[in-house]
Amino acid sequence: MAYNTQNRKLILEYIKQDKYVSVSDIYNELTNRGKKINKSTIYRYIDYLEQEKLIIRHIDTNTKKTYLQYVGDNQTCRGHLHMKCKECGLTVHLPTDLLTKTEELHEFDVEYDTSIIQGTCKICK
């Protein structure tokens, strides 16, 4: 199937909110806009966007759900942790040096680009 630039644009725009979005979120959004698209197609677009280094994919280890975060020009997002609100998906960027001392102490390398700290933001509490 050809790489449909309009769908790519819609998906990218949707992910660009400063939030983690799931594949179901993208699917619902596009379907609400009257687009005929299935989830495997969305996964394929996500693969492309990931290869282009525009997004980071996080897998929730509990639910095995995939969440996507737009990074675009903000490549520093690969070098720090994020907190994610479980209710609304709000993303908080944590300081890059937050765990530096702990990592040194334990000689442990945290995988920043695949780790998310989950919680509830002040609006959703």
Q: By CB under 5 A, tell whether 90 contacts Zn ion.
A: yes
Q: Which residue has the tokens 């969440």?
A: 67
Separation of first and last alpha carbons in the chain: 44
For Zn ion, the binding residue among 50, 87, 97, 103 (CB under 5 A) is 87
Q: By CB under 5 A, tell whether 46 contacts Zn ion.
A: no
For Zn ion, the binding residue among 77, 81, 99, 116 (CB under 5 A) is 77
- To Zn ion, the closest distance from the beta carbon of 85 in angstroms equals 3
Q: By CB under 5 A, tell whether 88 contacts Zn ion.
A: yes
Which residues of this chain interact with Zn ion, rule CB under 5 A?
77, 85, 87-88, 90, 93, 121, 124
